[in-house]
Amino acid sequence: MRILLTGGSGFIGSALIRHLIQSGCHLILNVDALSYASSRDSLSQVEDHPCYSFSHTNINDGKKISTHLQQFQPDIIIHLAAESHVDRSIDTPAGFIQTNIMGTFTLLEQCYIYWGSLEPQRKQHFRFHHVSTDEVYGDLGYTGARFTESSPYSPSSPYSASKASSDHLVRAWHRTYGLPVVISNCSNNYGPYQFPEKLVPHMVLNAISGKPLPVYGSGEQVRDWLYVEDHVRALVAVATRGRIGETYNIGGNQERSNLNVIQAICSILEDLQPGKLTGSLRYSDLIKFVDDRPGHDQRYAIDASKIRTELGWHAQESFETGLRKTVLWYLENTSWWERILNGAYRLDRLGKQA
């Protein structure tokens, strides 16, 4: 298959590309604007692979997107490009509107034109897979039901509102114009190569540097945690075998409070790297409670029974095993995250292009 990914140099996108290359020689074109949260280093092991190519392109650039579609002739589009950090969306929401809403609109326009130009057999098998988040559903009480594919939308932050908007656009292009789409909404991802602003890597790197581990409010906010390699297996299943026009929720069935996650990271570090802090200080002593962020959702939890029943997917990694693998990866791959923290990854981020 010929697969065009948007945002393939980000956390989930790069994991998906590595998985696709390792599982078979699909031809892959990675279209990425290389924003601050993208790193070419995350794809260094596949960058010279004959099945992989890269283009430094913003999804808002309709002309370049059109050129890539006509020249690469993809069978599947997997749309991952998005601004995704909630705190940043609260401080500077404009970029989230531009990328997540307008960028998706531009991509849909160009994909609809491209799809319409295909010969009947290729047109029948073409798919546009839009990758979204469980945050579009708002939040849940601390106990009880989980989000299903029919849960009403109730986004709380500029980030989740922009993703909800993009979901609605994708559904509209399917219903109004017939564009063959599938949508997936995932729970909180974690794993190797995640940008250090996110909770798990931020806490790991702060802890090993002896810096405070800030916890919003009481830390009781609950998230359903999904190991990124489990997620990318689900994305392949949805993109290739999901029913056209359907939505699939992808979750790890691993609910943990933010405080529990941070405490688990501290416990793993005490096991893997004990006695690093000065004196008798333990990693958990670095935990510091800070003011909660505005509009902070209480709980996200995914009911993933639909993707399990229809596509046979289930998460293989428990939170305990996945988190330990993740912490160990950050301890063993200091060169990757040091280049992020000191900004070196941005100086040579353009590199070779398609």
Catalytic residues: 134-135, 159
Encoded tokens for 39 = 């790193």
Cβ partners under 8 Å of residue 116, min gap 6 = 123
What stretch of H or E contains 191?
none
Q: Are strands 222-227 and 188-190 parallel, antiparallel or unpaired?
A: parallel
What stretch of H or E contains 307?
helix 305-311
| Distance from C-alpha of 102 to C-alpha of 166, rounded to nearest angstrom | 8
CB contact at 8 A, 138 and 228: no
> Where are the extended beta strands (E) located within the chain?
2-6, 27-32, 52-56, 76-79, 127-133, 181-186, 188-190, 213-216, 222-227, 247-250, 255-257, 287-290
